[in-house]
Amino acid sequence: LKMLVLPILLSLRAYEPATHTQTQKKKRSENLLFVIDSSESVGPENFNIIKTFMKTVIDKVLSSHFTTRMGIINFSHKVELVSSLKQYASKESLKLAVDDMPYFGEGTYTAFAIQETIRLFQAARPAVRKVAVVITDGQADNREDIQLDSAVRKAHAANIEIFVIGIVQRTKSYNDNFLKEMQLIATDPDDEHVYQIDDFMTLSEVQISSTLVLHLCIFLYFIWLLSALESLHHLLQALFWCLVFFSESHRGTYTFILILGEKWWSNTE
């Protein structure tokens, strides 16, 4: 679970405001949209696992250090807007909306869901980052009126960064085609935006990969140096959060670092 949440969190934190004063002058925010598959192949039990995953993500993302708006789309043979990007003001209200998400149990109309994603992001300000996370267990339904590749091209042209979490056993005969579809949907490079797991239980059990964390932290470090370095304090914020996530599997160390980091933050802002 943490390995799946982590890249999204680091991606968002890379654009966090440097100081409270800078935030007041020019408020930055990110729009994060989850696109959830509730088709027949998912099943009601697995759909509940997705809901639990979603609530964990909400707790981690909508923390005090973020200026993130989160929306949710639920799709099968139709698309339902669970939450717009401006609908819920608190974590608890958004989690209640997740609990109320219906399980549709029919087709997988992924292209329609991507189309709705584009529509929702059109209301966002041009400077605001747009991130979508698609969670699905199968290929798009060929009964859709629009082509998936067409919808995806429009999403990428609209500067929507798309992550895909695909749930399918690699031994399945259709795995190769499903992987190609995930790679089509996801933003390049695929190795940073496509995550495949074998079953839904893994969605709630997978642990942090230290190698992945280190790779992302190094990537984040250079992003700061090349494009977002406004102050030494700004850079140290990014490195601090890398350290937090890198040590999160060791709860005592995580808590210690977090406490020290919060004190340091309050003294420097």
Whether the pTM exceeds 0.75: the reply is no
pLDDT score at 47: 95
- Name the residue ranges covered by the structural domains of the chain: 2-207, 211-268
Label residue 17 by pLDDT band (50, 70, 90). very low
- Please classify residue 175 by burial: count the beta carbons closer than 10 Å to its beta carbon, then call 0-12 exposed, 13-18 middle and 19+ buried: middle
pLDDT score at 257: 40
pLDDT score at 230: 56
Q: Which CATH architecture has domain 2-207?
A: 3-Layer(aba) Sandwich (3.40)
Place of tokens 């992924």: 110
Kindly give, in sequence order, each residue whose CB lies less than 8 Å from that of residue 97, ignoring residues fewer than 6 positions away: 72, 82, 83, 87, 88
**Residue-averaged pLDDT of the chain:** 74
Query: What is the percent of the chain with per-residue pLDDT over 90, rounded to a whole number?
Result: 35
Instruction: Please work out, in degrees rounded to the nearest 5, the angle formed at the alpha carbon of residue 76 by the alpha carbons of 73 and 78.
Output: 80
Residue 12 has pLDDT above 70, yes or no: no
Label residue 197 by pLDDT band (50, 70, 90). confident
- Bridge-based pairing state of the strands 68-75 and 79-83: antiparallel
pLDDT by residue (tens digit) across 117-137?
Answer: 999 998 777 778 888 999 999
CA atoms within 13 A on the CB side of 140: 23
Q: Cα dist. 136→22, 111, 257 in Å?
A: 38, 12, 35
pLDDT score at 39: 95
DSSP string, 64-121: TT--EEEEEEEESSSEEEEE-TTS--SHHHHHHHHHTPPP--S---HHHHHHHHHHHH
Query: What is the percent of the chain with per-residue pLDDT over 70, rounded to a whole number?
Result: 62
How far, rounded to the nearest angstrom, does the alpha carbon of residue 17 sit from its chain's CA centroid?
19
Task: Please state the rounded mean pLDDT for residues 94-111.
Answer: 95
- C-alpha 230/C-alpha 223 separation (Å) is 12
pLDDT score at 68: 73
Q: Cα dist. 72→83, 167, 184, 189, 215 in Å?
A: 5, 19, 21, 24, 29
Does residue 137 or residue 257 have the better pLDDT? 137
- C-alpha 89/C-alpha 84 separation (Å) is 11
pLDDT score at 121: 92
